[in-house]
Structure 1
């Protein structure tokens, strides 16, 4: 019996559509999909316990092929009573005095503009998972800045999220080992890229060469995913009706006073 084809995906990535297509096209080839943290997903590729991974970029590329797929809007998650909740978008400069409830290295744009007091209070916070951090956010004790899909994954009634200008979009990519010659890798690549069942396919190694944007740091891979859903990308979301209210350094609105 053919061994299962294992695919891991990081929080916020929803491969359901691709898994359904796989089941319809390859019913005799079992596929196991499971969630994993970004670092774990990359490690599992390298040790062979996973065949492919949908993860967030950048990732250490040695020994791996990576195809950038799409980008996501970064958002700030705040308490429902936070002043930011009154705006449709916030500039990262307006978050300089907030306590960041995550590793500042994950949001270098915040680290560059944070006040000394905010950095000190952030450093005093214990490590926590995103779910734990959102729980603390609900109490009004800080903020987190994450991709929109992650904010939706951990949504609560007592928090809201708003797009953040000035923070780079989060990129999602598909990765696998350069020495893995399992033909099912190319099958999964084709499904993710929206190829029809009858379309011609190149080799997996050739597909892995389509990565100049990842090497150079360009946006790359900005096409819409094959599931056909509207992709949330860029730094602002299209607003319906009236122009959005923006709270930021360049918006002309005075900053909130009396912060503790």
Structure 2
């Protein structure tokens, strides 16, 4: 593989470290550039070629992009550690009825009938919303990875068992892909070293007749070699 580089854009909360580690082991001469992206800019970055591949959450405007679904994130509610809901191991939507709920402008959870009473002020981002949760302004519904990213000692989170999940996917420009991009996709999909696409396929199995003919040819060749010294001796007499 020719020495070059590959740019992977990723949104807040996404963790491409495992893939980056495997890439570095397999291709130490080809740097994998990790580019942090705002959630709303990830698809545009892939479309514009700012990054070769974008790791993003769905739904998003993926026009002109090929999308490879990866996994579904658990949805949680972030509350202060002394909140009544913190006593439970998990909660349901009904448990959140009547709770003041913050919706940041970069909201990542698509839930049309989400419970709670929406707070009028919309924080600019999830980080600011988390600070307002700590201040007691309201609760926050986010993918679990964002709750972990913005974790504070005075906050905790609980899974909402009946909430929709948050899909995560790779997005890249439509059309033929470079060998580097194909190699990275293979790593994400768990493909082992040496099993990438384009590898020379194994030779087809021979039929019984072909095997028999091969054995006959091998025996004939061996007999010819064995007789050769005798002829050579007779020629020297």
TM-score range relative to shorter protein:
0.7 to 0.9
For the 8 Å contact 1:82–1:140, the answer to whether it is kept is no
| 1:19 corresponding residue in structure 2 | 20
Structure 1 residue 143: Cα displacement: 0.9
CA distance in 1, matches of 2:109, 2:89: 20
How far is the alpha carbon of 1:3 from its aligned partner? Answer: 4.9
Which of 154, 157, 162 does residue 158 from structure 1 map onto? 154
Question: 2:183 — aligned with what?
Answer: 187
Q: With structure 2 as the length reference, what TM-score do the two structures score?
A: 0.76
Gaps of 5+ in 1: 204-260
Task: Please tell me the root mean square deviation across aligned C-alpha atoms, in Å.
Answer: 2.2
1:23, CA displacement in angstroms?
1.1
- Within 5 A, what are the aligned runs for 1:186-225? 186-201=182-197
Look up the SS of the partner of 1:42 in the other structure.
helix
Query: C-alpha separation between the residues in 2 aligned to 1:185 and 1:114?
Result: 41
Question: Cα–Cα, structure 1 residues 8 and 180, in superposed 2: closer, same or farther, change >3 Å?
Answer: farther
CA deviation after TM superposition for structure 1 residue 37, in Å: 1.9
Task: For residue 108 of structure 1, report the CA deviation from its aligned partner.
Answer: 5.0
Q: 1:103: how far off?
A: 4.5
What's the offset of the Cα at 1:31? 1.6
Query: Separation in 1 of the partners of 2:114 and 2:55?
Result: 31
Q: CA deviation at 1:41?
A: 1.2
1:71, distance to aligned residue in structure 2 (A): 1.2
Cross-structure match for 1:83: 84
Larger RCO (alpha carbons 8 Å, 6+ apart): 1
| CA–CA separation in structure 2 for the residues paired with 1:41 and 1:4 | 19
**Closer, same or farther: CA 107–170 of 1 in aligned 2, 3 Å:** closer
Cα distance change on mapping 1:5 and 1:89 into 2, 3 Å: same
Report the alpha carbon displacement of residue 180 of structure 1 after superposing the two structures with TM. Answer: 5.6
Deviation digits for residues 38-79 of structure 1 (CA, Å, limit 9, x no counterpart)? 221111111111100111112223211111111111100001
Partner Cα separation in structure 1 for residue 132 and residue 173 of structure 2: 38
Q: How many pairs are equivalent? A: 197
Higher mean C-alpha deviation, range 193-202 or range 100-109: 100-109
Matches within 5 A, 1:95-174: 95-103=96-104, 106-107=108-109, 109=111, 112=113, 114=115, 118-119=117-118, 122=119, 124-174=120-170
Judging changes above 3 Å, is the alpha-carbon distance between structure 1 residues 114 and 72 closer, same or farther for their aligned structure 2 residues? closer
Structure 1 equivalent of residue 229 of structure 2: none
1:74, 1:146 within 8 Å by CA — same for their partners in 2?
Answer: yes
TM-score normalised according to structure 1 size: 0.70
More helix by share: 2
Cα distance change, pair 58–132 in 1 and its aligned pair in 2 (3 A) = same
